[in-house]
Structure 1
Amino acid sequence: MDTGDNSWQLQKFQDWLEANGATLVKLELRECGQHGNGVYARETIRDNEQYANIPSDLIITSAVCRKELKDVLSADLSGRALLCAFLIHQRFVCTESFWKPYIDILPQTFHTPLHFTTQELLLLHGTPMEYAVEDRRSELCAEHKRVQEAVDSKADEMRKVLDFDNYLWAATVVSSRAFTKALLNVGREDISDTKKDNLNQGNTGAKASVLLPLLDMMNHRPQARITWLVDSDSGSISFVAGSDVTAGSEVANNYGAKSNEELLLGYGFCASSNPLNCYHIKL
């Protein structure tokens, strides 16, 4: 995911996190080449050590989206559609909001097949991915139309920027970064457990979804072990290492049991030597 040269934006984002109650003492945010941005260990993180905490005020929930869009929507939205409307409004309309440091570090371009050129799409001809792309595009077109209809007729600025290209950008942010809201209802969750893939990152579709600044910056490593703790009183989320991470190494997340087809469609990359890779055949 291409984010451009944005080291100053990453520093501003980290300052924003810490100013609003997040703790990430042993972490460093930086660009990591073709992978966009990443999270790295400033100091060695030990197995079972808590290394970051995000307060509930920095979690983008449906309630947050509805509050920010109260003067924009004339009909209710939910799931991915609501998050997409929020993201477009924050990026293009409400450009000086509380969430700006987070919005500024999001990728502006993606490399999922939904963003392929005509020539690139020809490479998928006859494959299951070709049909998956067609189905996803059709689904997003219908969803985009529903969002357009939900925007108040007087919200001129929002209506001007609510074209399909911007909606596709927002939908890809959601598919590659959002988590299902079920995450907030557990006390301690080991997200390396592939049996609990419904809690993991990406492709949340119509489910109730949340965006988690910082956690959604961690890149994927198959079978990486990371545990999160949800404080039942404050709603904050803490990250706990499932193994040692040496100083200077990348701190990875685990997006769940996903084949390279799923990773390419939802995130725009494939994992080399993916132990969970498989090939789907449409009969």
Structure 2
Amino acid sequence: RGDADDDAFVAALDALVVDDDPIDDRVRLQLHLLNERARGSRSKWAPYVRSLPGRELVGNLPVSWACEEDPDELLCGLFDTHMFRKAHEDKSWLNKLSGALLEDPRNFPADAFGPDLLLWAHAMYWSRAIRLKLPGGGFSSASNDGKTDCLVPLLDSCNHAWRSRHDTGRGAIGYSLVAGAALTAGDEICINYGMKDNGELLSSHGFVCREHARFDFTYVRMLDPATSDPSVFSERRARVRDIVGRQRKGKMSRDDPATTTA
């Protein structure tokens, strides 16, 4: 959450309206993240903000691939799939949010809340937010299950393994992550991001899982090599292979069972 005494920023969030509706808690969290990023070293969250990925994660998400004005700029086409529709809906929403923020430059200056940074915050939220029960509900209201979407240092750095089982607990001074199986020194700590198909994993996290390949397909269309510049086609093919061939946060080998290649 942001600084508790930042009343002006909280009031600006309360007053922010997009398409005649107030912003929800997910967007509030993303804007709080950008506000803390803009504070730099003055923010108590500065070490956490510095630990977050940069544009390398954003480039893996389909929302950053869309370019309706110039189809040649598309990394690849996703046809009429749920992932394609979600990418365009997200991009449209971010454009509307950007327009709303421009109307209040005092609280949302362009150098801290510009379109590229909104896309970055969107990527950080959707790829890393974890649902936890907070003592006071945080700055946002908890959902019906009593949990709130949070960005949690260290915990949100865990890679995904679909067979992994874990639990989170809350004590008097903090939270605990309990593994569902015994670990030995040097083991990587993974968590399960939930029952997500490859389309959702790629849309939100920028990777896909090999284990899903037998029953979960998302068709990706690249440029036609017969009619396209060979160097451009080769570059985009390599980019798609890179996206689907590694996990979210750590570099994985090509033989790692958690990832797949195109």
- When residues 82 and 249 of structure 1 are mapped into structure 2, their CA distance, relative to the original with a 3 A threshold, is same
Helix, strand or coil: the match of 1:246?
coil
Contact 1:258 1:276 (8 Å CA) reproduced: no
**Aligned residue in 2 for 1:101:** 47
Aligned length: 193
- The residue correspondences of 1:69-88 to structure 2 (distance < 5 A) are 69-72=6-9, 73-76=11-14, 78-88=24-34
Q: Is it true that 1:115 corresponds to 2:55 in the alignment?
A: no
Spell out structure 1 runs of 4+ moving beyond 6 A: none
Contact 1:178 1:211 (8 Å CA) reproduced: yes
- When residues 68 and 257 of structure 1 are mapped into structure 2, their CA distance, relative to the original with a 3 A threshold, is farther
Contiguous gaps of at least 5 residues in structure 1: 1-63, 186-197, 200-206
Given the two structures, how large is their TM-score scaled by the length of structure 1? 0.59
Q: Following the alignment from structure 1 to structure 2, what is the Cα–Cα distance between the partners of residues 136 and 80? A: 13
Counterpart pick for 1:236 among 174, 181, 194? 174
Q: Is it true that 1:134 corresponds to 2:119 in the alignment?
A: no
- When residues 127 and 154 of structure 1 are mapped into structure 2, their CA distance, relative to the original with a 3 A threshold, is closer
> How far apart are residue 113 of structure 1 and its match?
0.9
Counterpart pick for 2:106 among 136, 145, 154? 154
**Aligned residue in 1 for 2:212:** 274
> How far apart are residue 168 of structure 1 and its match?
0.6
Q: Which one has a bigger Cα radius of gyration?
A: 2
Helix, strand or coil: the match of 1:161?
helix
Counterpart pick for 2:117 among 166, 180, 189? 166
Contiguous gaps of at least 5 residues in structure 2: 15-22, 68-72, 136-143, 220-262
Per-residue CA deviation, residues 118-151 of structure 1 (Å, 9 max, x unaligned), is 54443323443222211222233333444455x5
- When residues 87 and 245 of structure 1 are mapped into structure 2, their CA distance, relative to the original with a 3 A threshold, is same
Report the residue type matching 1:143 in the other structure.
Answer: L
Helix, strand or coil: the match of 1:65?
coil
Helix, strand or coil: the match of 2:12?
coil
Deviates more, 1:272-281 or 1:238-247: 272-281
Report the residue type matching 2:192 in the other structure.
Answer: N
> How far apart are residue 216 of structure 1 and its match?
0.6
Contact 1:257 1:276 (8 Å CA) reproduced: no
The structure with higher relative contact order (CA 8 Å, sep 6+) is 1
Report the residue type matching 1:163 in the other structure.
Answer: G
Q: Is it true that 1:258 corresponds to 2:207 in the alignment?
A: no
Report the residue type matching 1:223 in the other structure.
Answer: R
Q: Is it true that 1:225 corresponds to 2:154 in the alignment?
A: no
> How far apart are residue 242 of structure 1 and its match?
0.7
Contact 1:80 1:171 (8 Å CA) reproduced: no
Q: Following the alignment from structure 2 to structure 1, what is the Cα–Cα distance between the partners of residues 213 and 78? A: 23
**Aligned residue in 2 for 1:30:** none
> How far apart are residue 279 of structure 1 and its match?
4.8
